[in-house]
Chains A and B, each alone.
Chain A
Amino acid sequence: MIEAKNINFYYDEFQALKNISMKMEPNSVTAFIGPSGCGKSTFLRLFNRMNDLIDNTRMEGECIVDNQNIYDKKMNVDTLRKQVGMVFQKPNPFPKTIFENVAYGLRVNDLGNKQFIQERVEESLISAALWDEVKDKLNKSAFELSGGQQQRLCIARALAVSPSVILMDEPASALDPISTLKIEELIHDLKKDYTIVIVTHNMQQAARVSDKTGFFMLGELVEYSDTKKMFLNPEKEETQNYITGRFG
């Protein structure tokens, strides 16, 4: 389970997140929607501490992942990132072979021997619904794959290190509709084993894939409820205006 308690986040003097508290259930898909610059991606990146890489940022509040406060001084960030995988907006496979891309996380984390890695790579590619397409060219460069395949490779790469949570930052925004559908199907399949949090610009995507949806605006969590409820009968007028396209 993931929980955020009273999160405030600042880029220099700019407050990007304002007192946000929310819980995300295990084995469910939670989507964040909202206009650009509303803080949804910033919020997502809190959970694997990717915001640490940005200079002059400041965070207040608590983030709890699997009963650990991940901003605790004792927390090992590398361990956290193994536990909380991430998939990015643009597919970013490494300039390595397909096999080595998936094996990468295992190698850098010293997980298992050669045989284990081999098995884990296969399992991960199967889970990412990519195995059938790449099993005959594992030693080819990852760049030979199509954009959608590359993104699924990146998902396989994240799965390989056995995370409990997967964060997805607009995972399909750079893909064509067919590849997007494949990724969405994959998200449904992965839900049974992982807790998934996804940021998306595409409201329909949030509606299609998520169980719960959080609507962000100007750094605030305006509404957080069951996706069905949010898209049928939202509580706040801002939410209604945004999801119906009457926004601004």
Chain B
Amino acid sequence: MNRKISQQIAFTLFRIFGLLVVVILFSILGFIVVNGIQVINWEFLTTAPKDGMTTGGIFPAIVGTFYLIVGSLLIAFPLGVMSAVYTNEYAGRGWIVKIIRMMTNNLAGIPSIVFGLFGMALFVNKLGFGDSILAGSLTLSVLVLPLIIRTTEEALKAVPDSFRTGSLALGATKLQTIRKVVLPTALPNIITGLILSVGRISGETAPILFTVAAYFLPHLPTSLYDQVMALPYHLYALATSGTDIEASRPMAYGTALVLIGIVLIMNLIASFIRRRLERKWKRN
């Protein structure tokens, strides 16, 4: 009897904490949606900010964030996947792999503001890219690289060894085996990693602070060396350093809503692709 009661108490506690997470998530989302939805309209999404950012829209920031996502993924994705393929498929179990893995883990633990500082020192100043999409994308890609490597490695580990031996036993080379069997099989899980990176890239403020983000730039970038506005930084600016903080408050909520919306849409697209790939090869 006693055991039964203590078990019930434990389960109830677990259930409460489990639900708590949902409650917190929905409060945040609800808060943002309720406050932000009133400013969302066509003009808000398609025009530049006006009147000291108290009216107008956030179009340049949306475009900027989009460029940064695409730019940093273009750099980090191939790099991360190749690195994971090397450590998981080629390198065996030697000390090199151990070091690479340790470094990757350490990289993942560094605070994002440090990446910003590093990006400014290397890409902006040393390499002379200036505050630019290029420098910002590079900085963000360094930031998400460990994430992509880790998730890709997990995805590769989930590919059964029997696929590899089966392919090698047919006279395929190791490279062919990786290209034609291992990577396609791991793809759905690699895409999961990609989804996580998109969320990370679009939400980070600190790394872009010193490397790309413009406080106010009403026109769109024309080259890789241009500065852009970005949603998280724009949100930060609206909330802390606008000309009239009270007047631009609704704009800030609107921006937050758009930011969440973009991440959500990206996630949906990616998980749609993932699910289709998975269904295609579902094991019975």
Q: Give the B-binding residues of A (Cβ under 8 A).
A: 48, 50, 53, 55, 78-82, 85-86, 88, 90, 92-96, 104-105, 107-109, 141, 143-144, 154, 157-158, 161
Contact = CB atoms under 8 A, between A and B. Distances in A.
B239 to A, nearest CB: 48
B92 to A, nearest CB: 7
Contact of B168 (A53, A90, A109, A143): A53
Contacts of B92: 55
Contacts of B281: 95-96, 141, 143
Given A92-B165, A107-B180, A157-B170, 13 more contacts: A48-B169, A78-B171, A80-B171, A81-B169, A81-B171, A90-B162, A94-B185, A95-B281, A104-B167, A104-B172, A105-B172, A158-B170, A161-B171
B4 interface: no
Task: Name, among B166, B171, B173, B284, the residue most crowded by chain A CB atoms within 10 Å (CB to CB).
Answer: B171
The 5 A-B residue pairs whose C-beta atoms are closest, nearest first, are A82-B171, A92-B162, A95-B281, A105-B170, A108-B172
Nearest to B281: A95
Contacts, number: 79
Contact of A92 (B163, B172, B176, B284): B163
Contacts of A55: 92-93
B177 to A, nearest CB: 8
Contacts of B169: 48, 50, 81, 85-86, 88, 158
A144 B184 contact: no
A40 to B, nearest CB: 18
B228 to A, nearest CB: 40
Contact of B170 (A53, A95, A96, A104): A104
Contacts of B282: 141, 143
Interface in B158-209: 160, 162-163, 165-173, 176, 180-181, 184-185
Nearest to A78: B171
Contacts of A82: 170-171
Task: Name, among B165, B169, B176, the residue most crowded by chain A CB atoms within 10 Å (CB to CB).
Answer: B169
A144 B173 contact: no
A71 to B, nearest CB: 17
B126 interface: no
Contacts of A105: 170-172
A50 B171 CA distance: 11
B280 interface: yes
A161 B169 CA distance: 11
A88 B162 CA distance: 8
Contacts of B15: none
B3 interface: no
26 contacts: A48-B169, A78-B172, A80-B171, A85-B170, A86-B169, A88-B169, A90-B162, A92-B160, A92-B162, A92-B165, A92-B166, A95-B184, A95-B185, A95-B281, A96-B184, A96-B281, A104-B172, A108-B172, A108-B180, A109-B172, A141-B281, A143-B282, A143-B284, A154-B166, A157-B166, A158-B170
Given A85-B170, A105-B172, A108-B171, A53 B280 contact: no
